[in-house]
Amino acid sequence: MTSPFSTSTEPAATGPVLTVRGELDVATAPRLRARIAELTVTAGQLLVVDLADVTFCDSSGISALIAARNVAEAAKAKVALVAVPARLTRTLTLTGLADFFPTYATAGDAIAAHA
């Protein structure tokens, strides 16, 4: 059974918190990229990407996460991934991308570390 894809954004004192739900794959990654492009991230802020409810992530999904990092860097901001599922953590580690994404257990932890 597939999980429906969705995103939502909440403001935080340090910048936007983008929550991603469902399967992040070749069919849904363009929607995530479009959502990321709509975000307002300014210098010094932190873009938090909450992956707690991501049920699957393929290479297209990882590419969309890299796009989030690129958007943050272009704005002279930072990005953090939170609640990264174990399988995705393993993939990020094996590909060497774990070094590019600070990860935290919760959005609160990421925000506190950035403050």
The span from the CA of 113 to the CA of 33, in Å, is: 26
Domains by residue range for the chain, with CATH: 6-108 (3.30.750.24)
**Confidence bin at 106 (pLDDT 50/70/90):** very high
Strand partners, 15: 12
**Predicted TM-score (pTM) of this structure:** 0.94
**Confidence bin at 54 (pLDDT 50/70/90):** very high
The span from the CA of 33 to the CA of 18, in Å, is: 12
**Confidence bin at 14 (pLDDT 50/70/90):** very high
pLDDT digits (tens, 9 = 90+) for 71-96: 999 999 999 999 999 999 999 999 99
Per-chain mean pLDDT for the chain: 94
Q: Are 49 and 39 in contact (CB under 8 A)?
A: no
Q: Are 56 and 29 in contact (CB under 8 A)?
A: no
